[in-house]
Amino acid sequence: MANDSLRLSKINKNQPVSAQAHTLLGELAQQAKDLDQALQHFLQAIFIYKNMNDMQNQIMSSIVYAETFFAANRYVEGDKILDELLPITHQYGEELPIALVLITKGNGYYQQKHYDDAIAQYTPALKYLSDKDEVTQKHRADTYKIIAQSYKRLKNREQTASFYTKALAIYTALQDPKLMARTLNTLAEAERYLGNYLIALDYSIHGLKLHERLDDPIGYVKALMGAGIIFRHIGSYEKSLEHIHKAHLFYKKMNDVSGIAKTSNELGFIYTQLDQVDQAKSFYQITIDQPEKKIEPQTLATALREMAVIDLGSGDYESAKVMAQKAHKIYQNDNDKSKASISARIIGNIYRAQQDDTNAIAYYRESLSLATEIGSEIYQIKAQTPLAGILIGEHTEEAIDLLKKALELAIQIDSKTQKLYVYRELRKAEKSRGNIAESLHYAEEEIALTKIIQEEREDNELVLVKAKLYSHKKEMELKSLKEITKLDQIELIKKKSEIEIAEQERKISELELTKNKYASIALSSLLAICLLAVILLSRRFVHSRKHNKELGYLAARDPLTNCYNRRILFDLMNRDFADLELLGEYCIILADIDQFKAVNDNYGHTTGDSVLRAVADILQDSIRQNDIVARFGGEEFCVVLPGASQDQAMRIAETIRRKIETSHFDDVTVTCSFGVTSIQFNAKTPQELIDQADLALYKSKSNGRNQVTLWDQSLERQ
């Protein structure tokens, strides 16, 4: 039909129809991916409009012509057309065409991933989008949105959030619910990257509310994904699973392989956080099993990388190496130097675990080189620190040089966790070259920073709790809104019924008035009862809270010695062992009263109890503020010394031993035997650490009692 129109318009010399026919044929050729044919038709349309002196249509056709060059990856030619077009738009005098030319130039740079250049075109375009009509404002909002997307690619989180916020304000003013909902989702993601979880959650829940009213399944499933990720970040794993699983089921129903893979990875992340590694692996495996051509390489690489980390943690080094190297190859093929830096570091960790230092060093150096090339301070630190750790001993000077550079970067980006790791390696490095004073300095820095990190962790936990409460509040609001909607629907049905039985309206109204009168009386009575109940419950709550606090204290303490009990000891140690890398120095002492049975037999259990209390008092008086003493069982006590070195722990144990030896308890003298161990002996769990201390204690007993013994590997063989 378009060809017929073109033929007839040429016969009749009807230039407007000819131009329109060429434009339509160009669009059809575009849809058929015949870009050369499309370019010819758009060019003919431009010539006709130029001959007609129709500047507006000439400009619009030229913009489409340039966009077609961009679609064909012929960016230089497309850009040249727009450069020639810009003076024409200024001559034309309308602001919108000027803005559209600048936006199109920006789109060309954006498609080439030249995001800074794209922003340099989009920004001046905003100046020409000042009219308040709906079309211009829509272009303005879309421009804010593409600027936000450009900053997102540049990882400028603050600007990303700022421009998405501006776009949302206009879409809201235009009352465009679909664009509002989608922008809320992307804005929630931007705020999440900034660590503003409450704000992110608020945007996400608002987006979900809007999507539930829209026929936009793709937008809705993306909103579910976004909300699920935010819930994961605030530690609300049940809610996270609920949202991500809904998205996963949607993609399975649609047989969307790419979506299945992405949601499988997200479910894997959640189960990894929950320490359910078998479940996590099963979801990563779903991604790995998908046809490679149907999923994004980065999605596959993520699953491979995470599987490698899990296998490394479980000691399956060969499987970990295969997975990590596959991920590394994908990142290299995609020229993703940021992710390649991560995968190279993971491979280095695997080789280090296999004690293959040569290959580990090679991959750590590759990771560092890539991190330096992209200017990522955090990835540089993460490569420098383990690299230096291997070099200590044979190449200590180079190790210290790397660590000092890492420390500068950690201070620059204010990463306390990375500073802690660097201090730890610097302490070891300085000790290796015999610089004890400097090693002690770094040990003190390490201890001080550990306390700060622990305090911040507690603050962050409070923030996450607040976020969970906030999400619960929002869910209740959403539930309430749904109930109100249902009530509104019921009310509408009721109104229709009232119209159908209009002749009975008066009687119904009278009945309603009577009902309302009694309902008001009942409501007033109920309110008075509720207020009275609130007062009574409040008093009971205050009393109960005080009582519960007392019960909590008693439940945590051994009633005889006032030390922590065994259950609390393991709770506290399990919490400390949750992050072994962050733990640093950590020692325990097991103390056992020598020949305590003889005390009970000779002096009676009352005296025996007095001795236990007195020994417990000495233990508690001899430790530092952050240390704890627990009654481990019978006459045995456990002292936990966070941040203490082996030497410090031995000194503390010896001090306690002497105090007990020289003390008199109701005219009874006793001695104690001690076993000391440290996390530096590679215990992975609290029970392993206690078992080591128990062996050392047994050695003290075997050697004649009243001694302090430090655990070493030889005790395992005795």
Give the CATH number of the domain where residue 626 resides: 3.30.70.270
At residue 451, the pLDDT reads: 82
Rounded Cα distance, 127 and 136, in Å? 11
At residue 548, the pLDDT reads: 45
The answer as to whether 34 is a domain residue is no
Structure tokens that stand for 13 in this block: 């010399």
Question: For residue 530, is pLDDT > 50?
Answer: no
Cα angle 470, 476, 481 (rounded to 5 degrees) comes to 125
- Partners of residue 672 on adjacent β-strands: 593
CATH number, domain containing residue 235: 1.25.40.10
* For residues 219-234, average pLDDT: 90
The answer as to whether 631 is a domain residue is yes
The predicted model scores a pTM of 0.58
Q: Which of 240-254, 326-340, 520-534 has the lowest mean pLDDT?
A: 520-534
* For residues 520-537, average pLDDT: 53
At residue 17, the pLDDT reads: 79
At residue 718, the pLDDT reads: 64
Number of domains in the chain: 2
Residue 275 has a CB neighbour count (10 Å cut-off) of 9
* For residues 23-35, average pLDDT: 87
Instruction: Indicate the residue among 295, 325, 354 that finishes a domain.
Output: 295
At residue 25, the pLDDT reads: 87
pLDDT digits (tens, 9 = 90+) for 53-97: 889 999 999 999 999 999 999 999 999 999 999 999 999 989 999
Band (pLDDT 50/70/90 cuts) for residue 20 is: confident
Percent with pLDDT over 90 in the chain: 55
Percent with pLDDT over 70 in the chain: 84
At residue 476, the pLDDT reads: 54
Band (pLDDT 50/70/90 cuts) for residue 297 is: very high
Q: Which of 26-30, 284-288, 289-293, 554-558 has the lowest mean pLDDT?
A: 554-558
Instruction: Compute CA distances 664 → 306, 418, 425, 591, 706, whole Å.
Output: 60, 49, 45, 18, 15
Residue 267 has a CB neighbour count (10 Å cut-off) of 25
Compute the mean pLDDT over every residue in the chain, rounded to the nearest whole number: 85
Query: Which residues span the domain enclosing 600?
Result: 562-717
Which of 384-393, 505-514, 581-590 has the highest mean predicted lDDT (pLDDT)?
A: 384-393
- Partners of residue 581 on adjacent β-strands: none
Structure tokens that stand for 240 in this block: 């996270």
The answer as to whether 115 is a domain residue is no
At residue 453, the pLDDT reads: 74
The answer as to whether 146 is a domain residue is no
Rounded Cα distance, 115 and 163, in Å? 15
Band (pLDDT 50/70/90 cuts) for residue 290 is: very high
CB–CB of 371/411 below 8 Å? no
Name the more confident of 186 and 555. 186
Question: For residue 547, is pLDDT > 60?
Answer: no
Name the more confident of 1 and 37. 37
Name the more confident of 500 and 144. 144
The answer as to whether 236 is a domain residue is yes
Rounded Cα distance, 43 and 688, in Å? 78
Kind and range of the H or E element at 442? helix 436-500
Question: For residue 571, is pLDDT > 60?
Answer: yes
At residue 542, the pLDDT reads: 47
Instruction: Indicate the residue among 238, 263, 295 that finishes a domain.
Output: 295
Band (pLDDT 50/70/90 cuts) for residue 446 is: confident
Nearest alpha-carbon partner for 316 in 343, 288, 278, 344: 278
Question: For residue 595, is pLDDT > 50?
Answer: yes
Rounded Cα distance, 161 and 148, in Å? 7
At residue 41, the pLDDT reads: 86
At residue 526, the pLDDT reads: 54
Instruction: Indicate the residue among 260, 295, 330 that finishes a domain.
Output: 295
The answer as to whether 183 is a domain residue is yes
Band (pLDDT 50/70/90 cuts) for residue 348 is: very high
The answer as to whether 450 is a domain residue is no
Pairing of strands 628-633, 708-710: unpaired
Q: Which amino acid is at 466?
A: K
pLDDT digits (tens, 9 = 90+) for 448-464: 888 887 776 665 554 44
Cα angle 666, 667, 671 (rounded to 5 degrees) comes to 95
Name the more confident of 121 and 416. 121
Question: For residue 527, is pLDDT > 70?
Answer: no
Nearest alpha-carbon partner for 342 in 295, 389, 300, 308: 308
pLDDT digits (tens, 9 = 90+) for 604-622: 888 998 999 999 999 999 9
The answer as to whether 474 is a domain residue is no
- Partners of residue 708 on adjacent β-strands: 674
